[in-house]
Chain A
Amino acid sequence: MTLIRAELLKLRTTRLWWVMLGVTVAYVLLQLGLTIGFAGQTGQNGRQVFPSRGTVPFQELLWGLGSSGVLFPMILGVVMMTAEYRYQTITTTFLATPRRERVVVAKLGAGVVVGLAFGLIVLALTAVAVVVTVPLSGGELVLSAKVLRIAAGVLLVLILYTLFGVGLGALIKNQLGAIIVAVVWVFIVEALVTAIPALQPVGKWTPAGAGGAVTNSGVDLGLGTAYLLPAWAGALVLLGYAVLFSAVASATTIRRDIT
């Protein structure tokens, strides 16, 4: 616990965390705005783009949007690890905690707190959006088990992507390199494997596919949802990635000589 507190203090005493929080909030607000704005409208294919505002599927869809900003806490997770190598503070860190795997574990612990905080904030934004738009459109607010599962899923996805970032940063100690890998992964690789039906059997095992399973509202946004794993399996897959990366990193890159 002491080491987790130290890691959180490291984050709080530099400025990046609130830049990333700001970007996450802006991105989620954009997603909420677009979804609310286009709700109920009919696309070129004659189908509704999003369910209309008064409906229950609309509420469920909104609740899951918080997970769209995963890239930014993930980058924060990457930086929690790579900044130590970039500024050589890793020397001081390992002098204070010479058992290096403890440092990795503490960073994962701090990542849980960061992901949870980001998740609670985006859920609060979502709650405001739901509470304002649904009654205005004559709908009735629901707090079903499904809504709770989706909201919990958003928390879980944000936490696990932060951990995924910490693990990635530990493997690729170069900060810019690790961030580029994260961006390419989230915006290109995952976007492709979850969008192209032929690749979806692979896509469901990626972090995005697993994240989609956890926050799946059942609303088909044109890519299909049937291919996804069950929610619990998605959560396990995400956790698996974070643990795997961190364990591999602890056994390899983190062990290397600091010169």
Chain B
Amino acid sequence: MPFETTRWSLVLAAAGNDSQAARVALSSLCQSYWYPLYAYLRRRGLDPEDARDLTQGFLASLIERQDFAGLRQDRGRFRAFLLASLKHYLSNWSARERTQKRGGDRQIVPLENAEGQYVVEPADHATPETLFERRWALTVVERLLADLRAEWSADGRAAEFDELKACLLGHAPAGGYAAVAARLETTEGAVKAAVHRLRRRFQSLLRQRVAETVADEQDVDDEIRHLIQALSA
């Protein structure tokens, strides 16, 4: 299967030239992955308001102005690009800018309940970078599961999804297929097939989502490994 043009490869291809398609792609990526940036800034010691402003300001400069100052072609991953750019942006961010931005309230991405999410972050010794990486990986998984749940709910199979989601770990359901089949009033074979379908869909979505953030198909496996490592650290 040829590697499809993904959102990130589109952005990279545009490489700073004003391209509507790239802008939309970038914007949609940012909609998904803003929280790790916010968490990073908070862990860096910024207060919630500054972190919000900065995240907004950063994404605005990125999407609207296509400010790709931090972009380097050899950095083929959206994740790494985003963090490096944010660091760059942070270093140029001054107090003057801060006061200007305040009250401007441009909503590039809706930072819903950012602080509410951050306060439950474990208060461990993780560095801002580690936290960013972990949050990123969790965001990938969360979005995947949310998409999966949405798909199954659309088919009216939300209950089934709840029963079977634990099988995504590669195990048989707790209590065995027969018990689940009984609860769902179906056959064991049907449950097995559903589990397999669920896992396959999960795997393909995973590759798809991760592929969106890398420039090259060969990097997908590496990126998944990286996400696993970020979660294991």
Are A and B a genuine interacting pair, yes or no?
no
Residues of B within 8 A of A (CB): none
Residues of A within 8 A of B (CB): none
